[in-house]
Amino acid sequence: MEAYVHGDDAAFRALFERYAPILLRLTRRHLRDDELAEEIVQQTFFRLHGARNDFRPGSKLRPWIMTIAMNLVREHWRRAKRRKMTSLEVDTQAAPEADLMPMELRQRSELLHVALEKLPTSQREVVELHWFQERPYAEVAQIIGTSEGAVRVRAHRAYATLKQLLVLEIRGDE
Amino acid sequence: MTGVDDRPEDQLAQHLRELDASDAHARSERMDELFTALKAECQKSDRTVAGFLRSRSTMARRLIVLGVFSGLAITGWHLFPIVGDHARTIQWTTSLVTFCVLLLVAMIMVTRPVHLPELPRWQSVCLICLAIGAPILAAFWPYPAAQAATHDHGGSVMAGACMGVGILLGVPVYALLRLVDRGNAFGSLVAAAAAGVAGNFVLKAHCSVPGTSHELLGHASVAVLFVLGLGLVHRWMPSR
């Protein structure tokens, strides 16, 4: 990042190659729309480009990028809500790369997506960052702008709810 | 890394791993396309005034805004006559200080770095309400008898002129704040509120026409028009 701040274009590409796939997975799970997820990833890097002079040597870049992306995802949901976009529209989007997945895996993935979508946004963000991105609670708290204790509570509730939802969904399928 | 004790139980963990695996596809050629488009967008932005200002550090952006605001205020203060001695009351000073503080808070909110979690929505809403409420409250404060005696008309006669001047002065404030805004949520509305407050600051400092109706129609309306007008624009034509 320091090289990029000093005008090294190759460093920008290296940053993109390193973080874009991570962000793409994060945003796809939140939005379930490939095109939108890619746009948010691009927008995240565009904002990072604008904010590069705020970067202090020795700081961690990952929380920066994650925070920008999460802010954009929240902004998207807020706008979508304002436009009265129904959840049905989102639900009907195909899961990423669904055609390449075996049927059973696709069904399970679908179940999990549905369960994750039933979580409140604040809990889903925590699961996303804590589980899928493997960020420690302290960093998750920094990214979403709350205390570590609150993050722990949200994670505990989210995992309990997910477990409950999955049991119900699996029983329902049987 | 996440501690073992923090992780969910085995069965749930297994399900989550499956979901993670199913989402793990990212094609390199698509990533190249994305990067090329991003690079072009960044280069295009770097060539614009807004791109140049937004890419300054937060400290630099705040100093630029403060410098421009101070310059405008000092120039206006000396070029145009401020209200007479009889109108410079405690209420008048309090109003000016309040408008200054609101303007400063709005500037800090608009220039907030994007790598920090966005501010809770209620804070922006609160500032916008205060920006509209403060001029309305100021309009209801009683005037000194000496000032009231200087004008024998209803006060609403000059309201149109004050409103025009207020809007005219608010536009550069709004434009500057939008130029340094990196895309904060509600940035447009907060900038609109700041423009309304800036207009009111100037009108309060220079307009000697007394009367609640004049202040409501000519001064407070500036903040209301900015917030409502730009709020509607923002709602129908949201920026990217």
CB contact under 8 A, B38 and A42: yes
Neighbours of B141 (CB within 10 A): 14
What average pLDDT score do residues A134-148 get? 86
Predicted confidence at residue A90, as pLDDT, reads: 44
Identify all chain A residues contacting B52, using CB atoms and an 8 Å cutoff: none
pLDDT level of residue B3 (50, 70, 90 thresholds) = very low
* Model pLDDT, residue A122: 84
pLDDT at A170: 60
Six-digit token pair at A5?
């701040």
Query: Do B79 and B24 sit in the same domain of this protein?
Result: no
Range of the domain at B17: 1-47
Q: Are residues B127 and B204 in the same domain?
A: yes
Q: How far does CA B178 lie from the centroid of its chain? A: 8
- Contacting residues for A13 by C-beta, under 8 A, at least 6 apart: B35
Q: Contact B1/A71, CB-based, under 8 Å?
A: no
User: B30: closest CA among A41, A127, A9, A59?
Assistant: A41
Measure in Å the smallest separation between the Cα of B66 and chain A Cα atoms. Answer: 18
Q: Which residues are within 8 A (CB) of B207 and not within 5 positions of it... i.e. 6 or more apart?
A: B83, B158, B162, B218, B219
Degrees, nearest 5: CA angle A143-A149-A153? 95
Please list every residue in chain B whose beta carbon sits closer than 8 Å to the beta carbon of residue A67.
Answer: 114-117
* Claim to verify: residue B35 and residue B78 sit in the same structural domain: no
pLDDT, mean of residues B165-176? 92
Same domain as B74, residue B187: yes
The span from the CA of B41 to the CA of B56, in Å, is 17
Query: Chain A closest CA to B26's CA: distance in Å?
Result: 6
Residue A70 has pLDDT above 50, yes or no: yes
Average pLDDT for A136-156: 87
Residue B90: CB partners within 8 Å, gap ≥ 6? none
**CATH level 2 (architecture), domain A1-93:** Orthogonal Bundle (1.10)
Residues B16, B80, single domain; the answer is no
- Cβ-based contacts of A146 with chain B (< 8 Å): 117
To the nearest whole Å, the CA of A40 is away from the closest chain B CA by 10
> In B, which residues are within 8 Å of A108 by CB distance?
15, 18-19
Average pLDDT over residues A39-52: 91
A93, A33 in Cβ contact below 8 A?
A: yes
Q: Indicate the range of A11-15, B7-11, B24-28, B120-124 predicted with least confidence.
A: B24-28
What mean pLDDT value characterizes chain A? 78
Higher pLDDT, A8 or B66: B66
Residues of chain B above pLDDT 70, percent = 81
Distance CA B18, CA A129 (A): 16
Give ∠ CA A126-A131-A133 in degrees, rounded to 5: 90
Q: Answer yes or no: is pLDDT of A166 > 80.
A: no
d(CA B110, CA B195): 12
In this prediction, residue A164 has a pLDDT band, given cuts at 50, 70 and 90, of confident
**Residue ranges per domain, chain A?**
1-93, 97-174
Whether residues B174 and B107 fall in one domain: yes
Q: How does the average pLDDT of chain B come out, rounded?
A: 83
* Shared domain check, B111 and B3: no
Q: Specify the number of domains making up chain B.
A: 2
Question: Please, are residues B138 and B215 in contact by the beta-carbon 8 Å criterion?
Answer: yes
B31 & B87 share domain: no
**With an 8 Å Cβ cutoff, are A38 and B20 in contact?**
no
In this predicted structure, what is the pLDDT of residue A97? 46
Of B23, B51, B117, nearest to A143 by CB-CB distance is B117
Domain boundary among B26, B47, B68: B47
Same domain, yes or no, for B66 and B182? yes
DSSP state letter for A83 = T
CATH 2.50.20.10 fits A97-174, yes or no: no
Average pLDDT estimate for A52-58: 85
B71 and B135 fall within a common domain: yes
Q: What is the pLDDT, as a whole number, of residue B6? A: 58
Let me know how many helices (H) and strands (E) chain B has, helices first: 11, 0
B88 and B112 part of one domain: yes
A92 versus A10: the higher-pLDDT residue is A10
What is the mean predicted confidence (pLDDT) over B127-139?
Answer: 92
Looking at the structure, do residues B80 and B190 belong to the same domain, yes or no? yes
Please say if the pLDDT value at position B146 is more than 70. Answer: no
Which residues in chain B have their CB less than 8 angstroms from residue A166's CB?
12, 15
Give per-residue pLDDT as tens, B179-236. 999 888 788 899 999 999 999 999 888 888 878 888 888 899 999 999 999 888 877 7
For B73-101, b where at least 16 C-beta lie within 10 A, e where not — what string? beeeeeeeebbeeebeeeebeebbebbee
Q: How confident is the model at residue B127 (pLDDT cuts 50, 70, 90)?
A: very high
Say what the pLDDT of residue B134 is: 93
